[in-house]
Structure 1
Amino acid sequence: MASITLPGAIRISPYPSNATSSSRRPLIHLPKSNPTTHPKANPTTHPKANHIQSSLSSNNTPNPPPNSSHQSKSTPNSNPLHSLISHPIPKTLIICSPVGLLLFFLSPIGGGGGGNNFFNGGGGGGGDGSWWSRFISPLAFAKDEESEGWDSHGLPANIVVQLNKLSGFKKYKVSDILFFDQRRRSTVGTEDSFFEMVSLRPGGVYTKAQLQKELETLATCGMFERVDLEGKTNPDGSVKVTISFLESTWQSAEKFRCINVGLMPQTKPVEMDPDMTDKEKLDFFQSQEKDYRRRIDRSRPCLLPAPVYREVMKMLGDQGKVTARSLQKIRDTVQKWYHDEGYACAQVVNFGNLNTKEVVCEVVEGDITQLLIQFQDKLGNVIEGNTQFPVVWRELPKQLRVGHVFNIEAGKQALRNINSLGLFSNIEVNPRPDEKSEGGIVVEIKLKELDQKSAEVSTEWSIVPGRQGHPTLASIQPGGTVSFEHRNINGLNRSFLGSVTTSNFFNPQDDLSFKFEYVHPYIDGVYSPKNRTFKTSCFNSRKLSPVFTGGPGLDEVPPIWVDRSGVKANITENLTRQSKLTYGLVCEEITTRDESSHIAIAGQRVLPNGGISADGPPTTLSDTGIDRVAFLQANITRDNTKFVNGAIVGDRNVFQVDQGLGIGSKNPVFNRHQLTITRFLQLKDVEEGAGKPPPPVLVLHGHYGGCVGDLPSYDAFTLGGPYSVRGYNMGELGAARSILEVAAELRIPIKNTHAYVFAEHGNDLGSSKDVKGNPTEVYRRMGQGSSYGAGVKLGLVRAEYAVDHNSGTGSIFFRFGERF
């Protein structure tokens, strides 16, 4: 059935038309923006369908499944001259992550079946007219028949030959293609968008029938009032083709309207009987115009903001008459906004009302009509997963639900949210066309679950500061950790994990620490909008106390080890995406020991004769070497940081308070509080993307800690160390009831990493004397100090030179992790 266009409208024709230009209004096919090919291109090139791929992978290698390449193959037919112009938008994002995640989708810019709608690029008459064909069809050129050979024209050189004079039995090789604008009386350059209308390519081999079909397609697309095709013979037997045209124009427009027609049914074009009387034709056109107005009234408004409307109106005002080229510019402007905002599937498909004062722009925005969650095994087969669907569903952003327009940023957010569950080794978010709803999108989320149970063993040798601060082995005997995890219990993301650590595998009973933890998310129910997680653990740990550390002029101080064992239960509640609150109860027993693992009730020091005196500050509140205490603990964190090309920018605030309940040794009552504020200031705007350089960043950091009430020495705040004031050993500046730390660091990007300079200061605010036994004075520490230096990040290691301002000497340090 032939299709007919409304008076002054440009319609989508979802069916191939057999009508001639005399039997129907012409359809207009705007070419695609940013063409990837032009007449000088290689005719044998067949690029794949376009897609944008965003991959988060632990090995930095995207690993899409076998079906991730959405490419429809061209098949030979009677009309190989499809003009399905497709435009690659290469944009790959690779981010380090514990699991491999894949988000890919199809480019919104592509051609449909030839001659089917306004934006197919004007190619021949095949195709089903589906709007999604613009996404998944490869670039269709003329059938490559060079391998079959071609025929010489057999005519004298340099003569003009009309199309109807060519032989129907020969295969002509087209050496070049020229586009001649009859109104401007000049040949247009290859950058002109009209070049995209032609599916012929230099070097291609075509028959007379194919060339006639190409001319018919151009003549009926509506872009031209008149179009002709002629050839000029070359001495080598090939033909140079010239296409002369007169561009279509319409009256000037005073209004612009944009509508979303994505889920509206496409009406079949109606063929007009050429034998109609003038009155019947007028009635027919009026009826079609009423139908189109009803269609506009039933449509939804598009997402286009007011500034873009104003920009389009300015373009219409400056242009005067509406032309095919001006419609191309409007289309490019509208689609650019959609794609810049992440609406990757949006496509301008039609313009209407061109014979009125209002131009109507029809957009298929990419409405989500269905959301599917699938579990896969390691081979990609669909299986019944262990995870319950609501666990995944609650992590999806609202913009990825049915009824919303698909947005790439919502897809990325879904990846991040699902990845944060820690349940899956691979995550894919795949949009595809909805076969049951024209213009709709089905979003498929494919998940590969991690093994529910896992265990591992690691070995290590402990390093502690020796004499003059040089690192020494705590023991030549190897230690290590045995850990296990049972995750996703009952499919509700509950988990039980544990670890056992010893510094001596040969005699583990001498030094055994452990931690067993149970995590229970969604304590208000998996369907509750609240996101509260209950966590309980029992633990036994041993750490070297930095409180009992000597100053710069003191010989080595015998170390004091602090053992902590107990239970902890807390609830974590996400207040916002950036903020979380944790509150709970801690009950623990603290034991202080010397380097021989005997209970130590006081700190030790080395006497001038080499002996050791145990008359230092008391190590516990009870003066027995063993304390028991119960207290409430709360922590609120607001982390508004993000990565810009690998550099962290934003701000982070942490506030923690511990409140003693008067339960335990000597009924301790205290309030210990800490506030940490860190700012990562981006000093220069940079273009974001894979391989782009990070910006320079200025880090400003402040930390305050204080305690009111009972304070055992092992809980005193210490100054000095890689995460306090660099350039000093742990606790080398002092141990105090209250401290203040300030720091500044300037990070300068260099190739594949960054260098930095820093300055830091720590101060005990005169509160060292308020710690029981005053360990700061006993061990001859300053109570305050500053440092400055420079460093470079080498992978996970910080290599830095820091100057101890108190002594004026500098040292080189190698540290793991970040300072802030």
Structure 2
Amino acid sequence: LPKDVEQEVLKAARKSQNCTVRVLATAKNIVEGYYTSKGLTFGTISHFDGMENGEVIAHVVEGEITRVQAVFVDENLQPMPGNKGVTHPRVIQREHNFKVGKLYNVEDAKTALRDIFLLQLFDNVQVVPRPDERDPSKIEVDILLRERPTKTAETELEWSIAPGENGRPDLVSARPGGSVFFEHRNLDSWGRQLFGSISTANFLEPQEDLGFKLEYNHPYCKGDADSDKTSFKAAAFNSRKLSPVFTGGPLIQDVPGIWVDRAGIKATVCQNFTKQSKCSLGMVLEEVTTRDDSGAVCASGAKQLPNGSLSLDGPRTTLSDTGTDRVMFLQGNVTRDTTTFVNGTQVGARDIFQIDQSIPFWPKRPIFNRSKVELTRFVQLLPENKKNSLPPPVVVLHTRAGHILGNCAAYDAFALGGPHSCRGYTVGELGAARSLLETAVEIRLPVPVLKTHGFLFWEQCSDLSSSSALSGNPTEFYRRAGKGSTHGVGIKLGPVRAEWCIDNNSGTASTYVRFGERF
């Protein structure tokens, strides 16, 4: 209890010549108000002494912690026999700030609940403070934990029925597809995790489009005392995605798709400075193969000519002539995020910088440097209204820029357009480029009845005339603009965003329903 609070109590007491109930109540309110403002919920004046001789003594209880214990409970929230759980107690201990001898703080309880839940080891976490039986002025803290199953597996099966030669589906055309997912959340009882997934559209011939990912996560790899919570992750992967680079513009609709297969391994070390700000450094070794819709390796793009035939002399899909590249590169990422939520609306700042630097581990391997930066500001225009739960009006200012030096493969080029680039266009509709500049402004205004916000926005993006520096110039080949802007309005309903956008290149309007945040 600081001296200025004691002086405030004495100053209030001197205003009265006698020690009345009102004087004692004022002293109690001042002292307990201080503790409450600091989150020290057990800070209180238990009783007063000395009223008969004029030397009043206030006995202050501050809520000092005498014991912190992790209590494992069963499905009925009853303590497990012998308090035996799968998870090592130190895994829980390193995630909370409760210390014997410190004062119990409600903010520490909130942080403990959040961080322990993020371990993904428990489906029920409760922080229960209670008076110490030996000294009621002190506090014992029990952290109740109900563990999730450490091992889980899920299988999802889909049947794709295709007609046979006679127009009816048969056993040959019935192709089962789906995915298999498994995880071990608590290897060796120390919170280390192993995840795996396999997916394919045809289990009978999985080699056609088999996708898999195997990931290992080792938290606190530098020890329990590491304040940055350094973690190590290793992954092996094989994925296939449709490339947005080989996409037609508004003048070319039917463009044969190019699929990008990536298979490789990745190792990453990540440090967390706060709950949202972090940095990471990883190494990636991968093989990239481009394929057409039939699954055959494809070294160049194509488009349909007016006479109906295909032009196969399009931009190269890879740096090599074979349709396959093997690359190794370092990937660094720094995120500074100070955003908070005020009645469901983000307020604050977020900056993200990422750089990929190739490592020429073999002669004639690509050498490149790919960097991008994102700056976003959520500016609150008016203070929060304590009388209702309406979100405050906010202006969002966003800029994203990027550039690629050296060998630039088409599959790594920046794609212009899309829900997270320039709304009103499909992904890649505006072009593909070595350089990128995007700017956006969004004004969010509260909607009283729905207790959410509507918004007005304006966005633009440009390739900075760098499309021609890509091999084959995909932007020109597919007759795309290379730049564009859009404006519109929308409303947010829970996780859903409904938007009405105007394409300023063509003057047409479109309506979209999307999930998640734009920024």
Partner of 1:339: 36
Aligned partner of 2:108 among 384, 393, 410: 410
Cα distance, 1:461–1:354 mapped onto 2, change above 3 Å: farther
**1:297-376 matches, cutoff 5 A:** 303-304=1-2, 306=4, 308-309=5-6, 311-352=8-49, 360-376=57-73
Cα distance, 1:818–1:804 mapped onto 2, change above 3 Å: same
Aligned partner of 1:433 among 119, 124, 131: 131
The 3-state SS of whatever aligns with 2:468 is helix
Shift of 1:517: 0.9
The 3-state SS of whatever aligns with 2:488 is strand
Unaligned runs of 5+ in 2: 161-172
Higher strand share: 2
The 3-state SS of whatever aligns with 1:714 is helix
Cα distance, 1:309–1:684 mapped onto 2, change above 3 Å: farther
User: Residues 561-603 of structure 1, C-alpha deviation per residue, up to 9 Å, x if partnerless?
Assistant: 1110011111112234442221121000101111111111111
Partner of 2:94: 394
Aligned partner of 1:717 among 414, 428, 444: 414
CA contact (8 A) 1:627 1:664 kept: no
Cα distance, 1:728–1:536 mapped onto 2, change above 3 Å: same
Cα distance, 1:530–1:787 mapped onto 2, change above 3 Å: closer
When normalised by structure 2's length, the TM-score is 0.91
| Matches of 1:577 and 1:696, distance apart in 2 | 25
Structure showing greater radius of gyration is 1
**1:535-546 matches, cutoff 5 A:** 535-546=233-244
Q: Which has the larger displacement, 323-332 or 735-744?
A: 323-332
Letter in 2 for 1:382: P
Q: Does 1:804 align with 2:466?
A: no
CA contact (8 A) 2:237 2:263 kept: yes
Letter in 2 for 1:803: I
Cα distance, 1:497–1:580 mapped onto 2, change above 3 Å: same
Letter in 2 for 1:695: P
| Matches of 1:632 and 1:791, distance apart in 2 | 39
User: Residues 457-500 of structure 1, C-alpha deviation per residue, up to 9 Å, x if partnerless?
Assistant: 346799xxxxxxxxxxxx99775321110110111111111111
Letter in 2 for 1:748: L
Aligned partner of 2:395 among 675, 689, 698: 698
The 3-state SS of whatever aligns with 2:211 is strand
Q: How many residues align?
A: 502
**1:131-530 matches, cutoff 5 A:** 303-304=1-2, 306=4, 308-309=5-6, 311-352=8-49, 360-383=57-80, 384-397=84-97, 400-458=98-156, 479-504=177-202, 507-529=205-227
Aligned partner of 2:468 among 769, 776, 780: 769
Letter in 2 for 1:754: H
Cα distance, 1:305–1:719 mapped onto 2, change above 3 Å: farther
Unaligned runs of 5+ in 1: 1-302, 463-474
Letter in 1 for 2:345: A
Shift of 1:530: 5.2
Q: Does 1:571 align with 2:269?
A: yes
Letter in 2 for 1:604: A
The 3-state SS of whatever aligns with 1:315 is helix
| Matches of 1:455 and 1:310, distance apart in 2 | 63
When normalised by structure 1's length, the TM-score is 0.59
Partner of 2:454: 755
Letter in 2 for 1:776: T
Cα distance, 1:417–1:305 mapped onto 2, change above 3 Å: farther
CA contact (8 A) 1:629 1:664 kept: no
| Matches of 2:357 and 2:7, distance apart in 1 | 60
Partner of 2:434: 737
Q: Does 1:590 align with 2:283?
A: no
Q: Does 1:674 align with 2:377?
A: no
Q: Which has the larger displacement, 535-544 or 574-583?
A: 574-583
Cα distance, 1:357–1:701 mapped onto 2, change above 3 Å: farther
CA contact (8 A) 1:350 1:361 kept: yes
| Matches of 2:297 and 2:385, distance apart in 1 | 59
Shift of 1:353: 5.4
Name the Cα RMSD after superposition. Answer: 2.4
Letter in 2 for 1:807: S
Shift of 1:390: 1.0
Shift of 1:358: 6.8
